[in-house]
Chains A and B, each alone.
Chain A
Amino acid sequence: MTKKLTIKRKVKEPEPQNEAPDSHESSDNEEEEEDLLQAVKDPGEDSTDDEGIDQEYQTDSSEDLEFESDEEGNYLGRKGAEGSSGDDDEESAEDEEEEDDADAKKSSKNNDEEAATTSKSIKKSQEKPTSSNKVVPVVPARDPSKVEYADSDTSDEEDIRNTVGNIPMHWYDEYKHIGYDWDAKKIVKPPKGDQIDDFLRKIEDPNFWRTVKDPLTGQEVLLTDADIALIKRINSGRIPNEEHDEYAPWIEWFTSEVEKMPIKNVPDHKRSFLPSGSEKKTVSRMVHALKMGWMKTTEEVQREKQEKRGPKFYMLWETDTSREQMRRIHDPVSAPKRDLPGHAESYNPPPEYLFDEKEAKEWHKLKDEPHRRKLHFMPQKFKSLREVPAYSRYLRERFLRCLDLYLCPRAKRVKLNIDAEYLIPKLPSPRDLQPFPTVESLVYRGHTDLVRSVSVEPKGEYLVSGSDDKTVKIWEIATGRCIRTIETEDVVRCVAWCPNAKLSIIAVATGSRLLLVNPKVGDKLLVKKTDDLLAEAPVLDVIENERIKTAVQWANAEPADQEKGVRVIITHFKPIRQVTWHGRGDYLATVMPEGANRSALIHQLSKRRSQIPFSKSKGLIQCVLFHPVKPCFFVATQHNIRIYDLVKQELIKKLLTNSKWISGMSIHPKGDNLLVSTYDKKMLWFDLDLSTKPYQTMRLHRNAVRSVAFHLRYPLFASGSDDQAVIVSHGMVYNDLLQNPLIVPLKKLQTHEKREEFGVLDVNWHPVQPWVFSTGADCTIRLFT
């Protein structure tokens, strides 16, 4: 708290500070300022101490800070408003002036004195604004930083002056010092007493209430009476300076009266009397623009705007329907209208339209593919109209409609509005096409494994069947009784009753042997005659070639076999799959699929001779067939059917089935139509006169078709399939060549049981009656009548 130092400082400083303002201000200004200051100071000067004033100014800033903290910035705000930077500068200038005096005196002071001076100085500072108000126009603004520097420089009363600047002081909380003084030495914080010390001091020290801590230095400052009075005045919102007279007479520095005589005696220029040429030009230009309508007055502009607002409507169409010739877009297609809402969209629909849990779940599940939902919205029911909210997807729907209108491709399409029934070809009713088998009437049981094949005696009394249980059974049709069982050594693939009614022979294909069996049923004479016929082998006059010899051996049956009824055994070199008779009963053909180019053989019974009709294999032969009338031979490979003339020994025709695998075929008794069954669920009807392509493809079955058969007399055919069904159809062939065959599916007979994916294996017709026999994988033979 030694005053000397501060004063020293001031002594050191004045020159540069004086220079700074000088350099900025014009000389006369400065003079004026000084004069003013003098004038203002006058009242203050009568008080005792000049120094006091000086010092007061120095303390000013620090005290400001305290006030700041006390009054929550109220004072600060006021001060900021009052004291512009210019004031500060003034102050500094003033200070310097007075410092000189102070220097000269160099008198020592006590604390009280000091306090008195500070109070005075505050008064001074309060007084300042009024004076500065007058001075403001004269003093130009200065650089604030500089001011601050000057301020801090001059306004510290103590030697311990902190140079840290305007920083938050709590940065020094952790240190022992609180900043640096002018010599760059640390200002050590005064020892801080604990609360007991504080308390003791509070008790002991009568001045405790007026001690304040200077945050910048950490020193304690004792407030003087004047200070307290000042604070009180400020608190009560009065002008801090007690002596300030608010109602002092106004000193008019600049007179408001207009002087009669000019200050300068220079006459006005001529230009000032003449109208401006450029203005005239612009005005005339504007007048012209207004005249020409380029420019508009504000009123006009407003009116036009008013008129422009919104489109103008008029009678665009004179009449309702008349059309003007106008270019339009090419071939306009109007957008279809939106569907109108149904009951389900109602806010209060009948209860059945609301979704139950299952439907709601499905509706939610199809969130990613909304087009698959049955309704595009979820029906809702509201008790009353006030509960109905805005539809959440309404905007989206309208937007989608907009997209539809401009982005959806349009085309004119004929909408097919037909009933499904219309597509079913018009066929006669099955009732008009009777008789045909409709019910299952008999089941022949006895086989223990799947029954591969069935064949009927030409007279229609007996039935022969061959099964995988290595037996051949002969049944009486009418009773379903098994008359005879012939056991063989191998699986029976195929049985065929000789179509010649004068012979009673069954051809049985078992393994690689073909057995010719006399069933010993029916007419005894006939049986005997057949036996006689087969008893001895005719003498062969032709030497068979090697190819045939290695393939086939004819032999009479052993006595043991003879007893069973087997008469002749034809041993083949490969397992036989199919055997079929020629219509007259002398020839029979066998198929060995593994036989390569010798897979089809034709045997002649009367001469006990075999032939191999083909020297080359044209594919895996599936089945063969004799033409009922002509000397033709049908050979079905996997994909195609070839028809050979047996006499000329040449290929007549090749039928293209366009299917993957043929399973069987049957020829119409008249010989012009061929029915082919395939494993790919189809049946093909070939009109041999018409084309090599099928006349009709029927997909009656749901699974592979195993066999087909034509009836000898009735216009019927049957097909058996793996779907356990026997389908009986009407297949009428007309004598008139122009009329196409009529094919009508009549009846589906589905009584066979399924065994390991096999259903019906073979079908065959009764030679006389409209009865059909079918054999199945369920070890039965069934008769449908």
Chain B
Amino acid sequence: MTLLDVGGLTVTGRHLIVDGVDLSVSRGETVGLVGESGSGKSLTARAVAGLLPKGLTATGSVALSGRELLGARERVLRSVRGSRVALLMQDPFAMLNPLRTAGAHIAESLPRLPRAARRAEVLRRLAEVGIADPSVATRHPFQLSGGMRQRVALAAALARDPELLIADEPTTALDATTQHEILMLLRGVQRTRGMGVLLITHDLRVAFELCDRVSVMYAGRIVESGPGSGVAGAPAHPYTAGLLAALPSVTATLPRLEAVPGSVPHAEDVTDVCAFAARCGQAEPDCGRARPPLREVSPGRRTACLYDVRPRPRTAPPALAPDAAPAGGTLLRVEELRKEYGGHVALGGVSLDVGAGESVGVVGESGSGKTTLARCVLGLATPDGGRIELAGLDVTPGARAARREGAHRLVQCVFQDPSTSLNPALTVGATLAEAAAQGRAEGRPSVAELLDLVGLPAAYADRRPRALSGGERQRVAIARALAVRPALLICDEPTASLDVSVQAHVLELLRTIRRELGTALLFITHDLAVVRQISDRTVVLFRGAVVESGETSRVLDAPVHDYTRRLLASVPPTP
């Protein structure tokens, strides 16, 4: 029985954003809406809940059990939201009121009950989301971890027993192990309650693991839909196939990560053609003539492609033998590094080595100390104890003997957040020229050479960062770091905020740079699949201590430490 039926949903602001989306969710079914940033998936979810931001209007039809919600009065929507449709958002911290306790959030949505009964009900609801400790009800959001907050938010969303739960990237802000727990919890709750779930996510693996049916969105429209396993196994649209090919694998080092070339067009510019044609490897003249309809390829499977997807040639053998360890000697030596913030131990005596030209991955969750480690090596943080040696030079920040003179020519960094990694006031050219001037005079690269190195046209030198996409900014950031031709490049989650197709491009770029320039990499990430693709050796950090280290294939295929095993178990299977 169809619970939610969305037909021809269109969302328009200053531009067209969502263009004719059809969706349905039945009772007891989990439907995934997958897409990269800018595909319009979140606005689709908001339009369904009647929560579009100001200035955006929706047309089409959104029916809940046959009742039209689009254009309904706010009063009607209020009676539906919470009680019949509930929302779970991405950021569990922003979603909860910092001044109210966890229990108050849940009690607020419960039906009227006597005080004692209400308290018991709150505890029962907390137990449903896996919180057995009754004291959590009296704690405030800041006293809870991210996973706990998301559990409380889920309990609050479920308080009035909705028939449909819309979950918008519910686990994106969480650590891998926590993400896995919350997904499993979501599945359990959905099954026991027989509830319909609309899961919005950018992560294909999450969608395939959790959803009965999956719809893939691109440039404001649905390009493919079908059962999760079917879409994962045999994508019927070149875009889906491209996304799947761009996914890094945790079990094998791929010889080449396939990025989808180009970038997502505006929905408005492609209303009458196939939205993907410009980036498609198998586009025919037909693709630019009319918009391909969502045609049925088999029962329950639809695609907006006129043709059958050509299987991608897998040229090289699937697994790549790790590069032989270069015999250049030790480049970076970190010994017993310790750092505390207040009473919190960020680094509790961490030691690691990076050889010249070697790529070492540092894996850990938030709070494991991996970023603090990078900051100490970069001289941005002063450790409480320990030693950092770069190319035989003592560069421990704060140590009296150590002068970091020249250290910037040895080590550079690519930071995580592409939105702040470039100075918005300077052009790309000015940023790169300034960086290059910090290097040695002989063999100093020009701005054009640097842009070419990261695969950007020389004309980008005149642009400012806000005219660049996230992936392009990150490539400029890599060019800036390479401008002084450092021996070691630290990458602090450089792809964590990027879409999967862009991530593949950046990872491939880093691999090429390492191969061609011989730059050693210290790659910090929480993503085991990424570390598999990029590093020879892997160091696993847990609460400021190294719990396991060794060759990447050894650590990931035969983990010794319990924590590494848990990390591996939490990775959704790669289709």
Do A and B make up one complex? Answer: no
B residues within 8 Å of A by Cβ?
Answer: none
